[in-house]
Amino acid sequence: MAGRRQYPFDLIEPKWQQRWDELEAFRAWNPGVTIPPAHPFAVRHQAPAETLPKYYILDMFPYPSGAGLHVGHPEGYTATDILARYKRACGLHVLHPMGWDAFGLPAEQYAIKTGQHPRKTTETNVATFKRQIKSLGFSYDWSRELDTTDPHYFKWTQWIFLKLYNSWFNPATNKAEPIEKLPLPPELAEGNSPDMEARRRGYRDARRLAYVSEAPVWWCEQLGTVLANEEVVDGKSEVGGFPVTRKPMRQWMLRITAYAERLLQDLDSIEWSDSLKEMQRNWIGRSEGAEVDFQVAGHAEKIRVFTTRPDTLFGATYMVLAPEHRLVDIITGPAQKAAVQEYKTAVAKKSDLERTELAKEKTGVPTGAFAINPVTGQQIAIWIADYVLISYGTGAIMAVPGHDTRDYEFATRFHLPVLQVVEPPAGIPWQGFVDDGLAVNSSNAEISLSGLATPEAKRLISEWLAKKGLGKKTTNYKLRDWLFSRQRYWGEPFPIIWKTGLSGVPYHEALPESALPVMPPVLDDYKPTSDGQPPLARAKDWVNLPDGSTRETNSMPQWAGSCWYYLRYLDAQNAEAFCRPAAERYWMGTAKVEGQTTPGVDLYVGGTEHAVLHLLYARFWHKVLFDLGLVSTAEPFFKLVNQGLILGEDGQKMSKSRGNVINPDVILADYGADALRLYEMFMGPLEMTKPWSTKGVEGVYRFLGRVWRIFVDEQSETDYEQNCTANPEAASRFLAQIALSASIQATPATPAQLKALHACIKKVTEDLDGMRFNTAISALMVFINEAIGWPTKPAVVLREFLVLLQPFSPHLAEELWDKLKAVDGRADAGSMAYAVWPKFDPARLVEDTLEIPVQVNGKLRDVLRVPAAITPAELEAAAKASEKVKPYLAGKTIRKVIVVPRKLVSIAAA
């Protein structure tokens, strides 16, 4: 490291971290809990904790990887810690917890390689993360620490799964309801035969929020597991970037699509960034349109299509089915059978990556069949092509090549007819015009759209189709149901068993709550079995139950634990419930508390990588729990902020291969936690991507050194090289012998000193409210730059400054706060954890003179120093009288003079 140590942070920081631990200084108190009278919380607040307004501030909990903390972690954690400390100082009851999202692939892959149990790896990694996080002095309530792999935790993850399993979505009420209350159709209502029982069971199973499906799913050979849509990026696995293929498998699904509309609508009720909301909107992918039925000529079959442009129906000149469409084999003519089969096979062999990457040129083959356009009566060819996806809409489209880019490309390639049915604004060619215009060439004997603007044409044709029974208005979503099972060992087992029903058909049943937690079996080998079964299937004793039923061998995805951890923090130790209602209502802000306005988590900070995975899944679970009356808010996270990425010093993304990774442990050892915290906040706005600079750390470190030297007598810091780090007593003796500077006195502050202080209070307070940490720190620096020149420094002023510094660099602030006792004798200075935030007094900032810039024709010509009480007329006169201004007015006529009181004078002259 460069330079001498600025101050003994290596003694100060462990001392205060230990003190906070001993005091349990940052514990948050649930309703009904008695607070020890000596606790600083009780000392500050006379009222019971549950009558104070709460502030729930949450970090995205980390996956404890083997690599340890990287510098991105402390960025978000410092931001939330500063706010947690600030809100505590402002008198709010702050909940600020931390835990571990510890199920996941790396621990399992390490187990496959070494045979070491993932539990062991996880424990080691958690210990490392905890040590690192603690060394940064964050004010977490560690009594609420949780770990998703702890049976006391995942018992309740399994319990919530049972809630999903035992619920269905009632479209009439738009809510999840218990499955027992699902109305049965009349034909199933009666009869107790085994057959009727099985049919009733089938009816219910098809409607549960957690259900089993045989549909094609993403399979990743390298990872040996299936993946959710959200985990597949550009045809590759999000983790590892391995190829994935489509494969029909029996899997557990969660019916998130039932919540598509609410997940979309409720975005309007929460304070997230526009870009993040937009990402969720895109993912949900709502589009309004119509379904239209096309009769297949010479067949009984109809083809149903979804279109967002029913107004272009007159321009539909052919149709396309997805190659996987049910009707393809039925309608294909004998002459086309071979070609169609060949095309289907070719498409099936393509991975999704190839299907999109090689999509430069459209492909397809005709089926030989024709459909009848319901408005023109024309026969139009039916093709199959892989640009139509089986998974969206109905898997079939009406092609309007005149006004759809993809259809236009296809029609051009295969010489299919192109008709104009929309008139663009003047000057734009109609071919391939896809925006709104005026309908043309769109009339038949019964209906005419011609001349109508696109929205009206859509409305009219939809009504007409509905009246004729040919179609109806409908809404489609891109969102698919959530594939919820994985072929992995290191995840929550499902609380599900399988039984054999009539004629050998297997069916599933939930285990009772009393069977929770379902523990995973002990295994020697964590690989999937050779026949592609999940590793849990290897444990025969575990799988096979005495009554002949067998356990579900899939496990839950990593997202399961993070879907509800923010609720477990509210009542983390509770063995009887996932969360007690009183605690839930208090911390989620729905209990009646004076001054409480925010529903849900007040502030959630984390990376943008969870924009559509964790944040969508958690909202979904929360809404189900809300419907079932288990939580009291419709949304979990009221305000959400994404921290920006920290790049390497070379401006590139940090990576081992580039060799530009900054290890926070090294920074910590060289400059201390306070400097690291301060630097990460000083780099720039929290949400921005910004490069690391170790020189920048030195800068804020020097600032902390200046703060230290304002307070202490430099002559008394005798021996910096003395090593007391390993010996707390020696450290404490050493720190105690460092005397306060003689310039600090219990004297009243001068007006100039109060002005500097209150300017700082104002700026820091406003900037913290707006989460502008970088400019708040610059205000602290401005204050110190000024105060360092004061011959005598009043203790009252410095105490208030320390309260402002404390959220940012709490260790140094505590040490100096403690030392100030020697001058002002204030004995209440044991810990700053609940020190009261100073109030800014505008009276202290009143200026008696102002500097007023004077412009002539927009150019600055003078700056006048004038009394603050000056009238606009006097100000104008003073401006015109200025010797610096006069030459620019000479020989010109003043056309206009603008006087902005207390701001500026602008003269226009010609």
Partner RNA sequence: GCCCGCGUGGCGGAAUUGGCAGACGCGCUAGAUUCAGGUUCUAGUAGGUAACACUGUACAGGUUCAAGUCCUGUCGCGGGCACCA
Q: Which of 278, 342, 525, 828 binds RNA (CB under 7 A)?
A: 278
Structure tokens at 675: 């400097």
Q: Which stretch binds RNA (CB under 7 A): 515-523, 660-668, 690-698, 750-758?
A: 690-698
Strand duo 793-794 + 744-745: pairing: parallel
Contact with RNA (CB under 7 A) among 696, 759, 762, 845: 696
User: Which one of residues 33, 184, 233, 338 is an interface residue with RNA (CB under 7 A)?
Assistant: 233
SS3 assignment for 821-862? HHHHCCCCCCCHHHCCCCCCCHHHHCCCEEEEEEEECCEEEE
Establish if 4 lies at the interface with RNA (CB under 7 A). yes
Q: What is the identity of the amino acid at 817?
A: W
Q: Which residues from 874-903 bind RNA, rule CB under 7 A?
A: 896, 898, 900, 903
Q: Report which of 806, 834, 825, 814 is spatially closest to residue 43, judged by C-alpha positions.
A: 834
> How many other C-beta atoms are found inside a 10 Å radius of the C-beta of residue 178?
11
> Within the chain, what is the greatest distance between any pair of CA atoms?
110
Under rule CB under 7 A, residue 285 binds RNA: yes
Name the residue nearer to RNA (CB basis): 552 or 862. Answer: 862
Distance CA(230)–CA(238), nearest Å, equals: 8
**Residue 648 sits in the site that holds RNA (CB under 7 A):** no
Beta strand pairing call for 302-307 and 287-296: antiparallel
Q: Which stretch binds RNA (CB under 7 A): 195-203, 356-364, 504-512, 567-575?
A: 356-364
Report the nearest approach of RNA to the CB of residue 882 (Å).
Answer: 14
Q: Which of 55, 703, 711, 817 binds RNA (CB under 7 A)?
A: 703
Is position 683 an interface residue for RNA (rule: CB under 7 A)?
yes
Question: According to DSSP H, which parts of 399-509 are helical?
Answer: 405-414, 454-468
| Choices 98-106, 329-337, 655-663, 849-857; region in contact with RNA by CB under 7 A | 849-857
The count of chain residues that interact with RNA, using the rule CB under 7 A, is: 86
All residues at 6 or more sequence positions from 595 whose CB lies less than 8 Å from its CB, including other chains: 53
User: Which residue matches tokens 């040919």?
Assistant: 470
How far apart (Å, rounded) are the C-alpha atoms in residues 471 and 313? 12
Nearest residue to 526 (alpha-carbon basis) of 102, 103, 112, 110: 112
Using CA atoms, how far apart are residues 496 and 208, in angstroms rounded to an integer? Answer: 14
Question: 3-state DSSP: the chain helix, strand, coil percent, rounded to 5?
Answer: 40, 20, 40
Establish if 655 lies at the interface with RNA (CB under 7 A). no
Determine, following the binding rule CB under 7 A, whether residue 690 of this chain makes contact with RNA.
yes
Q: Is 307 in the site for RNA (CB under 7 A)?
A: yes
Tell me the window of 134-142, 625-633, 660-668, 698-706 that interacts with RNA (CB under 7 A): 698-706
- Indicate the residue among 592 and 865 with the shorter CB distance to RNA: 865
Closer of 496 and 875 to RNA (Cβ):
875
Is residue 592 near RNA by the rule CB under 7 A? no
Q: Which is nearer to RNA, 19 or 406 (CB)?
A: 406
CB of 291 to RNA, least distance (A): 10
Q: Give least dist CB 417 to RNA, A.
A: 17
For RNA, which residue of 684, 730, 845, 876 counts as binding (CB under 7 A)? Answer: 684
Minimum CB–partner distance for residue 730 and RNA (Å): 24
Report the residue from 181, 415, 592, 859 that binds RNA according to the rule CB under 7 A.
Answer: 859
Cα–Cα distance between 267 and 247 in angstroms, integer?
34
**Smallest distance, Å, CB 873 to RNA?**
17
| Euclidean distance between the first and the last CA atom of the chain, given in angstroms as a whole number | 62
Q: How far is the CB of 273 from RNA (least distance, A)?
A: 8
Residue written as token pair 């700082």: 760
Q: Is 356 in the site for RNA (CB under 7 A)?
A: yes
405-464 binders of RNA (CB under 7 A): 406
Contact between 840 and RNA (CB under 7 A)? no
Question: Closest approach of Cβ 392 to RNA, in Å?
Answer: 4
Residues 371-410 that bind RNA (CB under 7 A): 386-389, 392-395, 397, 400, 404, 406
Contacts 24+ apart (CB under 8 A), 73-77: 73/133, 73/664, 74/136, 74/664, 74/676, 74/677, 74/680, 75/643, 75/646, 75/680, 75/686, 76/605, 76/606, 76/607, 76/643, 76/686, 77/133, 77/136, 77/138
Tell me if 583 contacts RNA by CB under 7 A. Answer: no
Which residue, 203 or 392, has its beta carbon nearer to RNA?
Answer: 392
Among 287, 574, 660, 747, binds RNA (CB under 7 A): 287
Least spacing, CB of residue 644 vs RNA, in Å: 8
Binding mask 470-509 for RNA (x = CB under 7 A): ------x-x-------------------------------
CA 327 to chain centre: 42
CB of 285 to RNA, least distance (A): 5
CB closer to RNA, 463 vs 609: 609
User: Phi then psi for 12, rounded to 5 degrees?
Assistant: -70, -45
Q: How far is the CB of 836 from RNA (least distance, A)?
A: 26
Q: Is 705 in the site for RNA (CB under 7 A)?
A: yes
Least distance between RNA and beta carbon 713 (Å)? 14
If you ran DSSP here, which 8-state letter would residue 747 be given? Answer: P
Q: Does 682 bind RNA (CB under 7 A)?
A: yes
With b for 16 or more beta-carbon neighbours within 10 A and e for fewer, the 761-781 pattern comes to: bbbbbebbeebbbeebbbbbb
CB burial readout 434-473, b (16+ within 10 A) else e: beebbbbebeeeebebeebebeebbebbbebbeeeebbee
Residue 227: which residues within 8 A CB-CB, separation 6 or more?
Answer: 217, 218, 219, 220, 237, 238, 244, 483, 486
Burial class of residue 349 in the structure, from the number of CB atoms within 10 Å of its CB (0-12 exposed, 13-18 middle, 19+ buried): exposed
Pick out residues in 752-811 that bind RNA (CB under 7 A): 772, 774-775, 777-778, 781-782, 785, 788-789
The residue among 513 and 609 lying less far from RNA, judged by its C-beta, is 609
Q: Which of 19, 200, 204, 362 binds RNA (CB under 7 A)?
A: 362
Shortest CB 726 distance to RNA, Å: 25
Q: How far is the CB of 294 from RNA (least distance, A)?
A: 13
Give every strand in the sheet of 849-856, ordered side by side: 859-867, 849-856, 904-909, 894-900
- Nearest to RNA of 172, 910 (CB atom): 910
Contact 58, 604 (CB under 8 A): yes
